[in-house]
């Protein structure tokens, strides 16, 4: 580990979100197929997950596949699914023994049965862990998440379990995929795009943003460390003075 060791855990963000972007451009720059960009990107996922729990970050949310990514060519979607399946199988044991609990943000329903089973197995295998929550956004959209939360509340009201006055910020948060987890402290987006692309719209209310031109496959632990060091310098006021 580098000089991050000197930073006390209390000063680190409790919850980091990352929009992993730029795999395609990374591959194009090298004259490689896009799938190889995703493959290299998945290697960075391993590095960043590992570094996060080593540092003591308690919640890490990664945007792997959005509700809008279904618009991509079927062959690319297929490759991404294969990569996901491969990565789960390859790294599950290590995640398990290192105290990582996997959680999915998103609706797995439209995914192939085999992949769904593999993911459900990984969730079950890690459900007792409590060192770090690893949230993986799959078929995830922030707007979709809020609409689902609203539907859950209406269903509870219809069943007579809640009334209008029970609909509070806390109750709404319980209906999000991140139920029980703190809001985002830091949102990282590499690849030069300056937008949030429907990622954790509710949870990012007071997040600090960190943008960089670096493409995700080049997002090393050192780049991550520099984002974390920048975060530590930010003056967070949450609307106060
Ligand atoms: C964005 O790059 C990246 C994705 C849509 C997929 C992210 C997936 C991975 C990093 C690999 C698998 C994930 C896990 C959790 C093991 P892009 O294709 O939009 O790049 P571009 O904007 O340069 O075309």
Ramachandran angles phi, psi of 46, nearest 5°: -60, -50
**C-alpha distance from residue 141 to each of 12, 95, 177, 193 (Å):** 26, 25, 11, 18
| Tokens 């060192």 -> residue | 131
pLDDT at 2: 57
Q: What per-residue confidence (pLDDT) applies to 75? A: 96
Ligand 1, residue 34: give the atom nearest the CA. Answer: 18
Distance CA 206, CA 102 (A): 24
Q: Is 64 in the pocket of ligand 1 (CB under 6 A)?
A: yes
The model carries a pTM of: 0.96
Q: Are 181 and 104 in contact (CB under 8 A)?
A: no
Structure confidence at residue 208 (pLDDT): 98
Question: Helix (H, G, I), strand (E, B), or coil: what is residue 102?
Answer: strand
Instruction: Examine the residue annotation and report whether 198 is marked as an active-site residue of this protein.
Output: no
Q: Which of 2, 21, 107, 213 is catalytic?
A: 21
Q: What are the residues whose beta carbons fall under 8 Å from the beta carbon of 6, sequence distance 6 or more?
A: none
Do 165 and 174 meet the contact criterion of CB atoms below 8 Å apart?
Answer: no
* Per-residue pLDDT at 188: 98
DSSP secondary structure of 9-23: GGGS-SEEEEE---H
Length of the chain: 241
Going by C-alpha positions, the residue among 45, 11, 92 that lies closest to residue 224 is 45
State if residue 217 touches ligand 1 by the CB under 6 angstroms criterion: no
Q: Residue 159 C-alpha to ligand 1 middle, in angstroms?
A: 40
How do beta strands 186-189 and 15-19 pair?
parallel
CB 87 less than 6 A from any atom of ligand 1: yes
Mean pLDDT per 10-residue interval, the chain, length 241 residues: 70 97 98 97 98 97 97 96 96 98 97 96 98 98 98 98 98 98 98 98 98 98 96 91 81
């Amino acid at each position: 580990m580098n000089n991050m060791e000197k930073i006390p855990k209390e000063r680190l963000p409790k919850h980091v979100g990352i929009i992993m972007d730029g795999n395609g451009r990374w591959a194009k720059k090298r004259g490689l197929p896009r799938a190889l960009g995703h493959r290299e990107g998945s290697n960075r996922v391993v590095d960043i997950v590992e570094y996060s729990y080593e540092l003591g970050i308690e919640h890490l949310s990664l945007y792997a596949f959005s509700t809008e990514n279904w618009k991509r060519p079927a062959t690319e979607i297929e490759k991404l699914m294969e990569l996901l399946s491969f990565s789960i199988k390859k790294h599950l044991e290590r995640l398990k023994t290192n105290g990582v609990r996997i959680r999915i943000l998103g609706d797995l329903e439209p995914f192939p049965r085999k992949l769904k089973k593999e993911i459900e197995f990984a969730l079950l295998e890690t459900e007792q862990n409590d060192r770090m929550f690893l949230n993986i956004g799959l078929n995830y959209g922030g707007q979709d998440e809020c609409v689902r939360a609203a539907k859950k509340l209406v269903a509870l009201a219809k069943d007579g379990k809640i009334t209008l006055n029970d609909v509070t910020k806390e109750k709404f948060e319980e209906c999000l995929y991140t139920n029980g987890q703190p809001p985002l402290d830091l949102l990282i987006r590499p690849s030069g795009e300056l937008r949030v692309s429907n990622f954790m719209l509710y949870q990012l209310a007071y997040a600090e943003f960190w943008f960089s031109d670096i493409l995700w496959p080049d997002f090393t632990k050192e780049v991550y460390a520099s984002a974390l060091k920048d975060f530590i310098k930010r003056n967070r006021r949450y609307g106060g003075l």
